[in-house]
Amino acid sequence: MHGLENMASTEQVPSSVLSNKEIAAIEEVMAKAKAKIASEGKVEAEVQSLTRGFLVNRTKDNITLQKVDEHNWSGKPVTSYPEFIPVQDEEVRFDHRGPLPEGSVGGIVYADGTDSTARKWLVAFDTPKQKAYVEAGPMGEVDWNVIKVKLDASEYRSEYEDPILGGKIYALNYGFALVAYLSN
């Protein structure tokens, strides 16, 4: 397991996809997430799993991203997933709870539009297993069965850069927090 103390380690953020500015922004969000979670207290870990999600939109064109799809394999959002992720300094947050042993397992897709030229960003998480999986690319249907297979094969960190449209996404799942950074 990855503890709170490992959350802001720079070497966990590969430089292959992210710039120094993006790495600094992710580390800042991770530090905020750690502080918020510490101030909220414990979850009833014996009966449920909780994903505390922190989503950051750093797209260059200052475009608010809109939720276009979601899937919950186990559990559900405490309140709805955020409908929008504006470009701002503060992250957008969600909580997702699921009963053990399966726990909190889901996925969300955000996009910068709805037409055929729009980009989408996908983040999937399995909190009991501390897994994250991400994709970025053109709009289109999501095959959630394929995403689940890829999520099961993933690790606590996932990153992707779309070579055609330039969307980038990076996510970390430490079991107590999921941080996803969406950019282009």
14 has a pLDDT exceeding 60: no
pLDDT digits (tens, 9 = 90+) for 139-164: 999 999 999 999 999 999 999 999 98
What kind of fold does domain 4-183 have according to CATH? Answer: Mutm (Fpg) Protein; Chain: A, domain 2 (2.60.270)
Tokens of 118: 């729009």
15 has a pLDDT exceeding 70: no
Please tell me the pTM assigned to this model.
0.81
CA distance 35 to 54: 12
User: DSSP letters of 93-160?
Assistant: EEEEEEETTT-SEEEEEEES-SSTT-EEEEEEEETTTTEEEEEEEES----HHHHHHHHHH--SEEEE
pLDDT digits (tens, 9 = 90+) for 26-55: 777 777 777 776 666 655 556 789 999 999
Tokens of 55: 């989503």
Distance of CA 120 to the CA centre of its chain: 13
Tokens of 49: 């799993």
